[in-house]
Amino acid sequence: MTESYSTLRVNADRMLASFIHLASIGATGDGGVSRVTFSEAHLAARKWFRAEIESAGLEFRMDGAGNHSALLSCGPADAPTLLLGSHLDSVPNGGRFDGALGVVAALEVLKTIKENRIRLKLNLEAIDFTDEEGTLVGLLGSAALAGRLDPEALKNPRGGRQNLVEGMKRAGLSEEGMLKATRPKNSLAGYLELHIEQGKRSERAGIDIGIVSVIVGIRSYRLSFIGRADHAGSTLMEDRLDAGQGASAFTLAAREIVMRDFPNCVVNVGKMEFSPGAFNIVPALVDVSLEFRAAGEEEFTRLDSTLMKCAEQEARRFGLELKIEFLGTHSPSLMSVNVQNVFADVCNGLGLTNTSLVSGAGHDGQSLAGICPIGMIFVPSVDGASHAPREFTKWEDCVNGANVFLQAALQLAT
């Protein structure tokens, strides 16, 4: 840590005031917020962010993907930019901390560095990425910035094409603009994010700061178990081609497989759709929505083939046909080892306990992995709650996280 800056701290009271104000935008009355992408509340939060940026004397910028940024030119004019950010959108009836804490902390870091008139080797940018939560597309803003936004994802967004078109219109954005929001790779020095853990590991271990080593990869499939519709009363049990049996047997077996052979992975069957879907008809077709996550590429591939083999086996066992539809994948994203070391050094210097953690949830850093060095820290979530109004992190932990964030940014930019 550079001696002259090592005693620098964020202004905790100012950051709290910003956080409280932001939490009032889209507040649901039960401690949570609803700021789904391009909703009125989301646009109001962005307007507030812009005003905060301007009143702090920082430069405001919005790109073609609607990412909102505060720029601090604290380095040479041609120096690359170190991005600090998160997201202001939320899931419906989400919590106050998810994303918001990271944006508020990033802005506070810039304010602190600006008012201390510190000159660095890099320029700094606090960024609010568009649609991290995937109301419409998922990691939309960060993918666009990284040049990884698939035009197909805009044509067939998971939130529905009509919703995307209307939302873009409300936000004054266009498809062409989104696809042109790519930043030159050499303009980015790195990306850092402070986020709540959304799990119980650091709280359980009594650890102040989680240093993320990898964001897990995620893959999804639709599996169709195809049997034959028959009279549910007059068809003998042994004569049935019951798609429901195959789909259910697979779901139970997938859990067993992961718990026994892939202890670091998770699998989820989030939806099963039965057709024709009646009390008195043997199910002819069941569509299964399958998603699984792994931290390592090798393990990911092995889990994939094991699950597909299992689905085929269970289909065969019940005399069914199986149709496998691949829906998409994100590879596991490794955090920069250098940035992890910097975070650990900074935590030790500040007297904060820290540990390496795998992020089971997706984050914008995934979009930037491989483009520039990325790093993430987690602060403890009380009871692991997230995506719910009871989401909570002690303010002291938020401030600790912001100070680690500040010191790490200084160290990486010096």
218 versus 320: smaller Cβ distance to Zn ion = 218
Is the CB of residue 136 less than 8 Å from the CB of residue 170? no
Q: Least distance in Å: CB of 198 to Zn ion?
A: 8
Say which residues have a Cβ less than 8 Å from residue 316's Cβ, sequence separation at least 6.
none
CA dist 204 → 252, 347, 383, 386 (Å): 29, 19, 9, 16
Closest to 210 measured CA to CA, from 346, 378, 409? 378
Q: Least distance in Å: CB of 95 to Zn ion?
A: 9
Is the CB of residue 186 less than 8 Å from the CB of residue 169? no
98 versus 397: smaller Cβ distance to Zn ion = 98
Is the CB of residue 406 less than 8 Å from the CB of residue 9? yes
Gyration radius (Cα) of the chain, Å: 23
Q: Least distance in Å: CB of 46 to Zn ion?
A: 16
Distance in angstroms (rounded) separating the CA atoms of residues 394 and 12: 13
Distance in angstroms (rounded) separating the CA atoms of residues 212 and 367: 15
Say which residues have a Cβ less than 8 Å from residue 334's Cβ, sequence separation at least 6.
213, 214, 369
Residues 148-187 touching Zn ion, rule: CB under 5 A, are none
98 versus 391: smaller Cβ distance to Zn ion = 98
Q: Least distance in Å: CB of 191 to Zn ion?
A: 14
Q: What amino acid occupies position 384?
A: G
Residues 200-239 touching Zn ion, rule: CB under 5 A, are none
Q: Least distance in Å: CB of 404 to Zn ion?
A: 18
Full DSSP string of 89-156: ---TTB-SSTTHHHHHHHHHHHHHHHHTT---SSEEEEEE-TTTT-SSSSSHHHHHHTT---HHHHHS
98 versus 242: smaller Cβ distance to Zn ion = 98
Q: Least distance in Å: CB of 4 to Zn ion?
A: 34
x/- mask, Zn ion, residues 337-376, rule CB under 5 A, reads: ----------------------------------------
195 versus 240: smaller Cβ distance to Zn ion = 195
128 versus 242: smaller Cβ distance to Zn ion = 128
Q: Count CA within 13 A, CB hemisphere, residue 124.
A: 28
Closest to 363 measured CA to CA, from 157, 129, 22? 129
Whether the link from the prior residue into 276 is cis, omega within 30° of 0, is yes
35 versus 111: smaller Cβ distance to Zn ion = 35
Site membership for Zn ion, residue 85 (CB under 5 A): no
Q: Residue 359 forms beta bridges with which residues?
A: 215
CA dist 83 → 103, 232, 238 (Å): 11, 60, 62
Size of residue set near Zn ion by CB under 5 A: 2
x/- mask, Zn ion, residues 86-105, rule CB under 5 A, reads: ------------xx------
Q: Least distance in Å: CB of 115 to Zn ion?
A: 28
Residues 254-283 touching Zn ion, rule: CB under 5 A, are none
122 versus 192: smaller Cβ distance to Zn ion = 192
Q: Least distance in Å: CB of 390 to Zn ion?
A: 16
Q: Least distance in Å: CB of 296 to Zn ion?
A: 23
89 versus 314: smaller Cβ distance to Zn ion = 89
99 versus 190: smaller Cβ distance to Zn ion = 99
Q: Least distance in Å: CB of 200 to Zn ion?
A: 17
Instruction: Return phi, psi of residue 3, to 5°.
Output: -50, -50
Distance in angstroms (rounded) separating the CA atoms of residues 159 and 156: 8
Q: Which residues bind Zn ion (CB under 5 A)?
A: 98-99
